Amino acid sequence: MNLRHLVTGAALLILCIMVGCSLAEKRQEIPSPVTHHPLPKPIETSPTPLLGKSITIATGDISGVYFPLGQALASTYGQYGGAFTGTRITKASIENTRLVREKKAELGFATVDAIASEEHALSAEKQPLVPSQLCALTGLYFNYIHIAVTKKSGIHSLKDLTGKRIGMGPIGSGTELSAERILQAAHLTNDTQKHYFSFSQASQALRDGVIDAAIFSSGLPNPDVSSLANDVSLTLISVPESVITELQRQYPYYLKKSIPAKTYAHLQSDIETIAVKNVLITYRDLPTDIAYELTKDFYTYLPELYDAHLAAREIDADQAEKNIYLPLHPGAARYFEEKKQKQAN
């Protein structure tokens, strides 16, 4: 092999390395991806406003409820509406409100307390105040606060959390927001060691003894709490009446509810706690016909969400406008008004 061939080969090798590095750099610049759902064979119906439209749904952690419901909903809109759908794994409620407000997602799941907190913070930054960029398509099910401990921990009440290590949910999540407010109402804010874990991380940390308690804000049942209840001697702590009263004084959208004993293995009695409504949100200037069709398809094919998670069975169109904090999108309002008229006739 002569010198010319060696030089040519070396040059080609350097060029390939440079191109490869360039492509790798470009790949690293891509943010957390949207999972696109392949469009299935369409159902033979007349074309709808969703046909060919791109619909991204902001969900949550894969071990929560938002993720499986978001996956199922994306499939529904793709199959029956002909939309090109995608889902995003997120830190859930608070991140989802921001993604939808910034139009990085058409739809998102969020709790009312997270929505209200974000709207209040945004309003405080704007002078003069501007109308909300968010609307509701529909109210969903309730998130119940779970305060999970092992029976061997010796923790029997909220006040026993003094000085303990607590899983608070991911930073910036709706769970963290609810957990902080509960500790504040119980005057425990400065007397605990806080750890910020996803649901699955908190579950494992509780198993391993890394934390003493874990707080979950979730529909029923929460998959990680179910797994814990089956694997270890687990119990849930009730939220005292005095704490519930204080929370409701400051934040009226928190409701007093119970987690039924039958929800998780080895629970001896119902657990008194607080709950907050979940909402399917969108941005205000989403076209009315699109919002109408999204809402109509949601309720037309709601039974298809039941297999994704039991919490979907709690969704009721007759309760869709209650405790949702945000105004309904005009397209959604049109759907519910038509539904009421049909029921009246």
Q: How far apart are CA 186 and CA 244, in angstroms?
A: 9
Domain 142-276 class?
A: alpha beta
Q: How far apart are CA 235 and CA 305, in angstroms?
A: 29
Domain with CATH 3.40.190.10 in the chain: 35-141+278-344, 142-276
pTM of the predicted model as reported, rounded to 2 decimal places: 0.85
Give which of 284, 280, 274 is closest to 305, Cα–Cα: 280
Give which of 117, 132, 140 is closest to 70, Cα–Cα: 140
Over residues 46-96, the pLDDT tens digits come to: 678 999 999 999 999 888 899 999 999 999 999 999 999 999 999 999 999
Q: Is 138:190 a contact under the CB 8 Å cutoff? A: no
Q: How far apart are CA 90 and CA 61, in angstroms?
A: 6
DSSP class of residue 62 equals: T
Asked if CATH classification 3.40.50.300 holds for the domain at 35-141+278-344, the reply, yes or no, is no
- Reduce the DSSP state of residue 96 to 3 states and report it: helix
Over residues 194-251, the pLDDT tens digits come to: 999 999 999 999 999 999 999 999 999 999 999 999 988 899 999 999 999 999 999 9
Q: How far apart are CA 205 and CA 213, in angstroms?
A: 9
Residue 121: pLDDT band by 50, 70, 90 thresholds?
Answer: confident
- Reduce the DSSP state of residue 278 to 3 states and report it: strand
* DSSP per position, 198-239: -HHHHHHHHHHTS-SEEEEEESSSPHHHHHHHHHS-EEEPPP
Q: Are strands 84-88 and 193-195 parallel, antiparallel or unpaired?
A: unpaired
